[in-house]
């Protein structure tokens, strides 16, 4: 004997067989219909279709359940249903670093970070802005750190290492005994009473404004005068005469300048 289980709508005063109550008092319950014929005939079950009132009641019940679930979800997210502004999700970061986040969220349940990521993170050092500001003017010269110590307003002219500028003394050797090719040919002549040989200066517009050594002197270079060296007389003439703020540098490693004048052979 075959039996078909069908869903019928019945009316009652209390709870139905499956414990769910409709909004209009109607209930859905599982009902067995055992009408059948002999084993050789097909089994036929009588099905009572739900009434329109029961359908409406069931629809209202499902809608109420969905609305209730939505309210629970919003409450879990911290979003208010009437005044959302007071309970909205904060946009500001709540943790200052990863360790604080891990402690607040049970670090044992968090995925293990990638070792490569840890290696990179551990090599990063945060430097205060005040430190950056104080070291931003530190440069290197001849493998040593240097820093600016003074600024001088000076008249700057230019010369070349040939006879047109140096006359008979144009032998390719400066007054300090160093070749005119020292420092790639970027050097200056100054009054030793103002800037001793071996001093470092940077001249706006000359050699990119980087510090260059004072390696030469000149008969007309007295007081606050500088002569910057160029490879040819034509380039030197194109420089003209300029009055600029020259920056004086010193070594920042606490060691003496160590400059030694070379003897002319």
* Paired tokens of 149: 């110590």
Domain-by-domain residue ranges, the chain?
4-77, 141-251
Mean of the per-residue pLDDT values of the chain: 71
Q: What is the pLDDT of residues 48-106, one digit of tens each?
A: 545 555 555 555 665 666 666 666 665 555 544 444 444 444 444 444 554 554 455 45
CA–CA separation, 232 and 214 (whole Å): 19
Q: Which residue from 177, 178, 201, 180 is spatially nearest to 191, judged by alpha carbons?
A: 201
Give the count of beta carbons closer than 10 Å to the beta carbon of residue 139.
Answer: 16
Interstrand relation of 225-229 and 188-190 (parallel, antiparallel or unpaired): antiparallel
CA distance 216 to 189: 4
pTM over 0.85? The answer is: no
* Residue position matching structure tokens 């790639």: 184
Residues in the chain, pLDDT under 50: 1-11, 13-16, 18-47, 49, 79-95, 98, 101-102, 105, 107-110, 117, 120-135
Cα-to-chain-centroid distance, residue 161: 49
Q: Which CATH class is domain 141-251?
A: mainly beta
């Amino acid at each position: 004997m075959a039996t078909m289980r069908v869903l019928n709508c019945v009316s009652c005063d209390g709870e139905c067989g499956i414990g769910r109550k409709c909004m209009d008092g109607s209930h859905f319950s599982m009902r067995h219909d055992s009408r059948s014929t002999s084993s050789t005939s097909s089994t036929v079950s009588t099905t009572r279709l739900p009434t329109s009132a029961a359908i409406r009641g069931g629809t209202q019940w499902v809608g109420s359940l969905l609305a209730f679930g939505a309210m629970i979800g919003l409450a879990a997210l911290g979003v208010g249903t009437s005044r959302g502004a007071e309970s909205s999700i904060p946009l500001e970061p709540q943790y200052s670093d990863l360790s604080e986040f891990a402690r607040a969220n049970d670090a044992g349940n968090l995925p293990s970070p990638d070792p490569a990521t840890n290696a990179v993170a551990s090599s990063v050092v945060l430097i205060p802005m005040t430190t950056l500001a104080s070291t931003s003017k530190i440069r290197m010269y001849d493998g040593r750190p240097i820093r600016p110590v003074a600024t001088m307003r000076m008249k700057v002219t230019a010369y070349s290492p040939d006879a047109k500028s140096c006359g008979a003394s144009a032998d390719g050797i400066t007054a300090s005994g160093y070749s005119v090719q020292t420092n790639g040919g970027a050097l200056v002549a100054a009054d030793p009473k103002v800037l001793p040989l071996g001093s470092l200066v940077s001249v706006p517009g000359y050699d990119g404004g980087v510090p260059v050594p004072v390696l030469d002197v000149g008969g007309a270079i007295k007081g606050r005068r500088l002569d910057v060296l160029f490879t040819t007389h034509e380039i030197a003439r194109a420089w003209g005469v300029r009055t600029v703020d020259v920056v004086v540098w010193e070594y920042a490693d606490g060691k003496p300048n160590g400059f030694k004048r070379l003897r002319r052979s």
